[in-house]
Amino acid sequence: MKTLRLIVLQALALAVLGAPAAAADFVDLRRIEPVSGDAAAGAQKAAALCFACHGADGISPVPMFPNLAGQRADYLYQELLRYKSGSRPDSPMTALVQPLEDADLRNLAVHYAALAANVPAPAEPPAPDLLARGGTLYRQGDPGRGVPPCQGCHGADANGHPLADATARSPYRAYPLLYGQHAAYVATRLRDYRSGALAHTSNDFIMTGVAQRLDDASIDALAAWLGNLPAERQAR
């Protein structure tokens, strides 16, 4: 009986995972080519377009916008492509990237990836119980809810999967670094995944399945823990 149940579950999983791949605009980020570009040209473009929301050093002064400094170029480039294609929900980014050429997107991605991720600690540390819950979810997941540990894809320290650079076409290259991201941004992004608002790439489908098993309290705890990591590092 257990064997039959396992076969049925595997068949259902394959059906669910296989359906999106048939869509003409679905992007499998596990098979992307490494991104290269001109970081100096990207810096010039960033000065004209990006500083107001993401800061001159890639650290956003606005909690609702992500920090970009030190983020993987492969991930950033794919995100910019999604905005340009219109497959991401409409935002101020949508209009900004429309006039940009593909080379501009690559240059911006390479520029931000080269910046040092000097993320400051939050001004007000979250409550200890919230941090404890977030750290447990990140490292261990929640087996009772079917939530996998986040570190499996994003690294034990949230600085990326350890095999991301193992090969030129590592399947982990497009998994983002989460270290020190603004809690408000992380929480909003997880809720977008949970609602199904993001459904264009292999990353989207993985994260939607995870986020749909997270309640609001779990999302807030994960976001708070990730945003507080710079404070943890300074305290060591």
What residue ranges define each of the domains in the chain, with the CATH number in brackets? 33-113 (1.10.760.10), 128-235 (1.10.760.10)
Higher-confidence residue: 92 or 135? Answer: 135
- Lowest pLDDT segment from 30-34, 40-44, 70-74, 114-118: 30-34
pTM for the model stands at 0.88
Query: With left for phi above 0 and alpha for psi between -120 and 50, is residue 105 left, alpha or beta?
Result: alpha
Please tell me what DSSP assigns to residue 27.
Answer: B
Tokens in use for 222?
Answer: 């994960």
CA max distance for the chain: 63
Contact 208, 191 (CB under 8 A): no
Please tell me what DSSP assigns to residue 66.
Answer: -
Closest by CA to 66, choosing from 92, 101, 85, is: 92
pLDDT per residue as tens digits for the range 185-212: 999 999 999 999 999 999 999 999 999 9
Model confidence at 4: pLDDT above 90: no
Instruction: Average the pLDDT over 95-113 and give the result.
Output: 97
184 vs 128: CA distance, rounded Å: 18
pLDDT at 233 (0 to 100) = 81
Question: Model confidence at 7, in pLDDT bands (50, 70, 90)?
Answer: very low
* Angle subtended by helix axes 102-113 and 73-85, to nearest 10: 140
